[in-house]
């Protein structure tokens, strides 16, 4: 599966990257975002396009990463505009998944037959490291008494009890 990702939508869902952006370390944030995406997608045979708003926010550094193409919007165009145009103009759009927090973008993807995934779901479904998962997805719960009774009936009581 190929991915086109609304970069800052995804970045603001990852606390370590969000803090870099808020501190004005945009280039560091972009490098971390690239690393995050590369670590979660099987890059063999898959393409990833990371679309970011406003080249003026970056220092102009080149962000080279095998398998990940970085695209900056240029005023007056936004990252959303680039993604919408990509969806509308790509012949084999069914081979692509659009990752965004913007419902309008996701509806456009759906209307054209592309896969779609909310940014938070992308993080949750591809992450082994819960430190990058939004708090709503990393909540741990204890087993209920019913569950405990069931497993005790299967395995017997623990000697520590």
Whether residue 137 is contained in a domain is answered as: yes
What is the C-alpha separation between 140 and 161, in angstroms, rounded?
Answer: 23
Whether residue 24 is contained in a domain is answered as: yes
* Nearest Cα to Cα of residue 4 among 42, 44, 47: 47
Query: Residue 130's pLDDT is what?
Result: 44
Read off the CATH number of the domain in which 56 is found: 3.40.50
Query: Residue 56's pLDDT is what?
Result: 55
Structural domain harbouring 100? 2-155
Whether residue 160 is contained in a domain is answered as: no
pLDDT along the chain (161 residues), means of 10: 95 94 90 89 84 68 78 89 97 96 96 96 71 46 70 69 52
**Domain tally, the chain:** 1
Cut 0.85: pTM above it:
no
Whether residue 161 is contained in a domain is answered as: no
């Amino acid at each position: 599966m190929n991915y086109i990702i609304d970069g800052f939508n995804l970045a603001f869902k990852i606390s370590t990257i969000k803090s870099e952006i808020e501190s004005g370390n945009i280039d560091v944030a972009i490098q971390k975002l690239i690393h995050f995406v590369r670590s979660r997608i099987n890059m063999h045979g898959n393409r990833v396009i990371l679309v970011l708003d406003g080249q003026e926010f970056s220092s102009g550094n080149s962000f080279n990463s095998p398998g990940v193409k970085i695209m900056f919007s240029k005023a007056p165009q936004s990252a959303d505009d680039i993604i919408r145009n990509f969806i509308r103009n790509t012949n084999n759009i069914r081979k692509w998944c659009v990752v965004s927090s913007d419902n309008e973008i996701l509806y456009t993807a759906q209307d054209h037959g592309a896969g779609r995934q909310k940014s938070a779901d992308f993080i949750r479904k591809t992450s082994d490291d819960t430190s990058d998962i939004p708090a709503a997805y990393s909540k741990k719960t204890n087993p209920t008494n019913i569950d405990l009774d069931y497993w005790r009936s299967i395995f017997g009581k623990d000697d520590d009890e």
